[in-house]
């Protein structure tokens, strides 16, 4: 990785942290609405409405029970009551209870299905959206942070779907129905019952204002911890070799303790709401019973009616307590949803133009005219670069660390858009071509050979969906990979571990070269493809690369200048500018920048009397 890349990532992350620090308006309602849309929007809206209707029918059965109980008590209290009338009310209670149980079961089943499908849709949308984002997004985000958003943040949303949405809807409907019935029974007792409700609502609002930022901080700290753990596991060899296990443990413990403290504050504040609302609910029922008893003594109301009203009073406050108890789940989901939607709201910076055309290969003629580029506005990485590559020419690219070599490759493949200037490939403006048609014709072999956890054969087929086993085997032979593949336990059906860790670096690289051959690209780009292998393996890889690049326009980045000295031309970068562009012999004869690089690299092997030129190496 070049210094330019490191600087770019550092600058982008600083920029990201600055944006995160900006205070945003309270968007809790908006985020909840967005989350609910995945569960109840679109094609699932009709099923969601049906689930709500079923829930209402179930709750009508529940709401009927206190009234039925009150009437039964009135029958017992009435000297003129009879057993037949009492039996009738008992039958009504059984019917109401059965309706409640059966319809509740159906409603719960439907809400569970909606919750599962909603989470699936959210996770699928998130992952699919990330696949379409440009590279600069991934430069700004540590992998551990992204994994935390895909796993931890969607997990808290899952709990919201499964444990909060259905109960909150049930509680809300219960409150509405109970209030309507209470007004119908006695408006005076209704006023008494409602005295406590404003206190509960104020309490809920206060706790929400304290809990919301705490839960947001909890999810952010959880992402930080996950990022550190992912980075530590990925770099475990460095940690072990440098004997830094204690340091890793201490830092992990520090992050975990901080997470515990933030989490304790968030959950304690939100969970405090439930016992408080329960206490207030008990006070409310006591008030209703006292006032109702006085009204019974005064002959204004029957005892059974007061008992029924007490039941409705409980049905009014119990759901409020239930909603309060779900505050932590909801606020945690809002914090997670905010982080998920911050990714979904991201837009690709590299987009196809509305009139973008398919790339038509005409030999591989490449021309750059006065090209400038910067990862972060105001910090130029490439400056005023102009060059021409003829069809089929192999071009070497070299320069000091951080000179802009990999950046130049990134803009030729249009992983990033340039600030100014023009890049033409076969006379066609790069910015006006579709990315898919361009990438289909450009093969890339990177310094780090990346393989998926799959069979060797499937890793080769990854380059082109319609390829055959025979074509893959032939490509492996051309890349000098066939022999060692056949010596693997199951040959081409051998399952590779993550990143191909059960192969050597050279073996992984030969498979990536074979994979590039399978893709049958018209233009090749090699980024330090042989820098991490031994001399014998390098010769095998170089032989495979020569076959891969044969007859193709190609660009090869190299620090070991011997690997590019036979290129038609060598592009020499320093400080983001092309300072020389000629063949190896011409550059050596000029005794300028390339000559200095060559002499410094081959010191002791250069011709007698040869001295390096006096030049300054500049990183971007």
Q: Identify the pLDDT of residue 259.
A: 73
Residue 349 has pLDDT above 80, yes or no: yes
Which CATH code is given to the segment(s) 26-344? 1.20.1560.10
Q: What percent of the chain has pLDDT over 90?
A: 21
| CA distance linking residue 215 with residue 335, whole number of Å | 6
- Domain chopping of the chain, boundaries: 26-344, 366-601
Average pLDDT of span 221-227: 73
Order of all β-strands in the sheet with 523-527? 442-445, 523-527, 553-557, 394-398, 569-574, 577-582
Q: Kindly state the average pLDDT of the residues 78-104.
A: 83
pLDDT of residue 81: 61
Q: Which residue has the tokens 């690709």?
A: 348
What is the tens place of the pLDDT at every residue in 253-303? 887 777 777 777 666 766 666 677 767 777 777 777 777 777 777 777 777
Q: What is the mean pLDDT of residues 188-192?
A: 80
pLDDT at 315: 80
- CB-based burial of residue 210 (10 Å sphere; 0-12 exposed, 13-18 middle, 19+ buried)? middle
Q: Is the pLDDT of residue 571 over 60?
A: yes
Q: What pLDDT is recorded for position 425?
A: 94
Q: Is the pLDDT at 548 greater than 50, yes or no?
A: yes
Average pLDDT, the chain: 81
Residue 389 banded pLDDT, cuts 50, 70, 90: very high
Q: What confidence score (pLDDT) does residue 22 get?
A: 32
Asked if residues 129 and 345 have their Cβ atoms less than 8 Å apart, the reply is no
pLDDT higher than threshold 90 for residue 505: no
Q: What is the pLDDT of residue 382?
A: 92
Sheet arrangement for strand 382-389:
382-389, 366-373, 420-425, 428-429
Q: Residue 554 in 3-state DSSP?
A: strand
What tokens does 432 get?
Answer: 């006006």
Q: What are 354's two structure tokens?
A: 């509305």
| Strand intervals (E) in 237-341 | none
Residue 234 has pLDDT above 70, yes or no: no
Please tell me the predicted confidence (pLDDT) of residue 309: 78
Does 3.30.70.270 match the CATH number of domain 366-601? Answer: no
């Amino acid at each position: 990785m070049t210094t330019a890349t490191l600087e770019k990532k550092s600058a982008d992350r600083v920029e990201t942290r600055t944006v995160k620090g900006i205070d945003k308006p309270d968007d809790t309602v908006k985020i909840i609405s967005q989350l609910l849309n995945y569960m109840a929007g679109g094609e699932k809206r009709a099923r969601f409405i049906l689930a709500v209707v079923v829930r209402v029918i179930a709750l009508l059965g529940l709401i009927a029970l206190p009234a039925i109980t009150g009437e039964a008590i009135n029958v017992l209290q009435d000297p003129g009551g009879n057993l037949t009338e009492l039996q009738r009310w008992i039958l009504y209670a059984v019917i109401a209870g059965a309706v409640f149980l059966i319809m509740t079961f159906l409603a719960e089943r439907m809400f569970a299905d909606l919750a599962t499908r909603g989470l699936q849709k959210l996770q699928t949308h998130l992952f699919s959206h990330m696949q379409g984002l440009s590279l600069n997004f991934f430069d700004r985000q540590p992998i551990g942070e992204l994994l935390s958003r895909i796993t931890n943040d969607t997990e808290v949303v899952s709990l919201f779907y499964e444990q909060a949405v259905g109960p909150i809807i049930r509680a809300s409907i219960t409150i509405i129905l109970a209030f309507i019935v209470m007004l119908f029974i006695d408006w005076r007792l209704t006023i008494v019952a409602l005295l406590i409700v404003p206190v509960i609502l104020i309490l809920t609002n206060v706790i929400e204002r304290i809990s919301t930022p705490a839960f947001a901080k909890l999810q952010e700290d959880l992402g930080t911890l996950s990022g550190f753990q992912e980075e530590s596991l990925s770099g475990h060899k460095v940690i072990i070799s440098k004997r830094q296990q204690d340091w890793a443990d201490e830092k992990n413990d520090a992050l975990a303790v901080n997470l515990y403290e933030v989490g304790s504050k968030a959950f304690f504040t939100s969970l405090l709401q439930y016992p408080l609302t329960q206490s207030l609910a008990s006070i409310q029922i006591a008030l209703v019973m006292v006032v109702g008893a006085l009204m019974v003594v005064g002959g204004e109301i029957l005892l059974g009616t007061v008992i029924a009203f007490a039941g409705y009073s409980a049905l009014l406050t119990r759901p409020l307590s239930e909603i309060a108890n779900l505050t932590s789940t909801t606020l945690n989901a809002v914090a997670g949803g905010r982080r998920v939607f911050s990714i979904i709201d991201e837009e690709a910076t590299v987009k196809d133009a509305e009139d973008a055309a398919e790339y038509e290969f005409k030999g591989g003629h490449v021309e750059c005219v006065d090209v400038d580029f910067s990862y972060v506005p105001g910090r130029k990485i490439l400056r005023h670069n102009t060059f021409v590559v003829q069809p089929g020419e192999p071009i070497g690219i070299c320069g000091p660390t951080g000179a802009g070599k990999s950046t130049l490759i990134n803009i030729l493949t249009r992983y990033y858009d340039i600030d100014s200037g023009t890049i033409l490939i076969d006379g066609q403006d790069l910015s006006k071509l579709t990315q898919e048609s361009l990438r289909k014709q450009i093969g890339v072999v990177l310094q780090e050979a990346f393989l998926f956890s799959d069979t060797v054969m499937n890793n080769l087929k990854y380059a082109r969906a319609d390829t055959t086993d025979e074509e893959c085997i032939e490509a492996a032979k051309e890349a000098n990979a066939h022999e060692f593949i056949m010596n693997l336990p199951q040959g081409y059906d051998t399952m590779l571990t993550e990143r191909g860790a059960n192969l050597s670096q050279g073996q992984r690289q030969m498979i990536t070269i074979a994979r590039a051959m399978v893709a049958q690209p018209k233009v090749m780009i090699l980024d330090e493809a042989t820098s991490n292998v031994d001399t014998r393996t390098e010769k095998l890889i170089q032989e495979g690369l020569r076959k891969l690049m044969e007859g193709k326009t190609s660009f090869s980045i190299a620090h070991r200048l011997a690997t590019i000295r036979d290129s038609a031309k060598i592009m020499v970068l320093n400080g983001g500018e092309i300072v020389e562009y000629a063949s190896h012999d011409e550059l050596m004869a000029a005794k300028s920048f390339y000559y200095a690089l060559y002499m410094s690299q081959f010191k002791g092997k250069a011709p007698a009397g040869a001295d390096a030129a006096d030049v300054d190496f500049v990183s971007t």
